[in-house]
Amino acid sequence: MTATLNPAPAPAAGSKPPKRKKPKQHQEVESGAGLFAPSMMTRVGLLAVGVLSVFPLYWMVVIASTTTSNASGFPPALLPGGNLGRNLEQALTDPNADLLLGLRNSIIITGTVTISVVLISTLGGFAFAKLKFKGSKVLMGTVLFTMMVPLQHLGLVPLYMVMIELGWLDTLQAAILPFLVNGFGIFMMRQYCIQSVPDEIIEAARIDGASTLGIWWRIVLPALRPGMVVLALLTFMLNWNEFLWPFMVLSGENPTVQLAIRQLSTATWSADLSMVFTGTLISIVPIAVLFVIFGRQIVGGIMEGSTKS
């Protein structure tokens, strides 16, 4: 007894063979959705972090736009008031706190320090990264040691005595001099130069007859530009918010913006919260403008420095 096997019917002419469905997991892997699609918890977490980051700025605007009684009352105000313009005018014209002079002094001090730190750091970073000279390791170790010794703990009294000997108390150069060189900036530019500037390019430039300064100007600086933007912003923020050293060497008649805000808080027997927050709101405007202008360069510099091998 034999069994007969009937062949499967051939598909009709012009019809396409049915496609086999792939498992859902395979589809997600091929499309990438299963690997990179954010979960609901991730989105909620990012939203919470964003709210927590923005809330201090929003709260500053709320307090700066209300009166002192409303700012210190309970329950606290949650929406901006209508006194922001009046508070801004009062803060800028307060005779006890020359906020405009403080802004001018802070711009001079911070701008000078930022230019000096970026310039010296690029020169020093290039020298330590690409030039061979005796004592380079010892000098680099000294630079790293300065990063381990905070100025606030060990350097204030000697520096203050130096300023007295120079007769620079209550002058802007006293607030500028200690910050003209930054060990962190030199170390950062050294690492960035090692990653961004190949040795072959420098050797080729030397064969073509370029001097050391010519190599630094034409090759190194363009390659370090993203890192220079990041270093400049970090230096600007650090020195713009500096309070302790200017408080020691400058008087109330020649303040920085941070000292002027302090004078706003001590103008009366009790702290005027609305004036303090208004002065703080004014003081963050330059930093906010820099972030808006150089935001892409800052992110690009950080990402480029972190991805180069």
Instruction: Please write the tens of the pLDDT for every residue from 267-302.
Output: 555 667 888 899 999 999 999 898 888 877 777 666
Q: What 3-state class would DSSP assign to 206?
A: helix
Torsions phi, psi of 66, nearest 5?
-120, 175
User: In angstroms, rounded to a whole number, what is the distance separating the alpha carbons of residues 144 and 112?
Assistant: 23
8 domain-assigned: no
Verify that 101 and 87 share a domain, yes or no.
Answer: no
Question: Which of 76, 91, 106 corresponds to the end of one domain?
Answer: 91
Residue 254 has pLDDT above 50, yes or no: yes
HSE (CB half, 13 Å, CA atoms) of 185?
A: 26
pLDDT band at 212 (very low <50, low <70, confident <90, very high): very high
Tell me the residue range of the domain where 58 lies. Answer: 39-91
* Nearest residue to 72 (alpha-carbon basis) of 258, 231, 209, 268: 268
pLDDT band at 309 (very low <50, low <70, confident <90, very high): very low
Q: What total of structural domains would you count in the chain? A: 2
97 domain-assigned: yes
Place of tokens 């919470």: 48
Verify that 243 and 259 share a domain, yes or no.
Answer: yes
Q: What is the dihedral of CA 153, 240, 228, 120, to 10 degrees?
A: -60
pLDDT value of residue 29:
46
pLDDT value of residue 2:
53
Cβ-in-10-Å burial (0-12, 13-18, 19+) of 252 comes to middle
167 domain-assigned: yes
User: In angstroms, rounded to a whole number, what is the distance separating the alpha carbons of residues 280 and 286?
Assistant: 11
Q: What one-character DSSP code corresponds to residue 79? A: S
12 domain-assigned: no
The residue type found at 291 is F
Verify that 116 and 241 share a domain, yes or no.
Answer: yes
Verify that 158 and 200 share a domain, yes or no.
Answer: yes
Residues 103 and 261 sit within 8 Å (Cβ to Cβ): no
pLDDT in tens, 223-249: 999 899 999 999 999 999 999 999 999
pLDDT in tens, 120-179: 999 999 999 999 889 889 999 998 888 887 766 667 888 899 999 999 999 999 999 999
Question: Which of 91, 108, 126 corresponds to the end of one domain?
Answer: 91
Place of tokens 């009062």: 90
User: In angstroms, rounded to a whole number, what is the distance separating the alpha carbons of residues 262 and 252?
Assistant: 10
Verify that 58 and 173 share a domain, yes or no.
Answer: no
Radius of gyration of the chain (CA): 30
pLDDT in tens, 101-111: 999 999 999 99
CATH number at residue 286: 1.10.3720.10
pLDDT value of residue 148:
82
Verify that 138 and 252 share a domain, yes or no.
Answer: yes
| Structure tokens given for 184 | 């962190």
Question: Which range (61-75, 80-94, 201-215) has the least confidence?
Answer: 61-75
| Residue 222: cis peptide before it, omega within 30 degrees of 0 | no
